[in-house]
Amino acid sequence: MILYIKYMVSLRCKMMVKEELAKLGLQYVVVDLGTVEILEDITQEQRLLLKNNLLVSGLELLDDKRSILIEKIKNVIIDMIHHSDEFPKANYSDFISDKLNHDYTYLANIFSEVKGITIQQFIIFHKIERVKELLLYKELNLTEIAHRLHYSSVAHLSNQFKKVTGLSPSFYKQLKQKRLANLENM
């Protein structure tokens, strides 16, 4: 049986879900971002307990098909941008469509209707978040980051970064370095 969990986006989330499953005596095959495959069927009582325990941790057990599909779309994008070093060779729409075995137009319409933003806007937001991580924690320059995240140029990355954050990538990095210096001087 497969369960779908909303807001499950990190290794820490996976650990919390595993703990909750263990508390209920549920054996799992796989705990992945947004999904859990358990060996046996879950009772209504176990489902309610799991749902309530996950809510305490900020996670949500999903029931309706549209929410599950939205979560699958988000997880494919998050995994592609944050947890993979390889970006798809095809365009994003083909990649997402292939991963979820649905027509991209169908996925895009449901996503926009439910989330209020397009899939493309969601991808851009997460790419910018990834750029922030790479700027702050990796020893990569902007050219390397642009290449890694499949931007057509450094200028395109910089323009998109400024549009989303209001800051240039270099100014953003300087702010972080100033904060660290201030902390060290305390």
Pair 50, 70 in one domain: no
Among candidate residues 24, 41, 63, the one where a domain is terminated: 63
How many domains does one find in the chain? 2
Pair 53, 74 in one domain: no
Mean pLDDT, range 57-72, rounded to an integer: 86
Q: How confident is the model over 121-153, as pLDDT tens digits?
A: 999 999 999 999 888 887 788 999 998 888 989
pTM of the model: 0.71
**Which DSSP string corresponds to 38-98?**
ESSPPPHHHHHHHHHHHHHTT-EE--SHHHHHHHHHHHHHHHHHHS-S---SS-HHHHHHH
Q: What is the domain-level CATH number for residue 81?
A: 1.10.10.60
Pair 124, 174 in one domain: yes
Q: What is the domain-level CATH number for residue 2?
A: 3.30.70
Helix (H, G, I), strand (E, B) or coil at 140: coil
**pLDDT at site 182:** 62
Range of the domain at 118: 65-186
Pair 74, 137 in one domain: yes
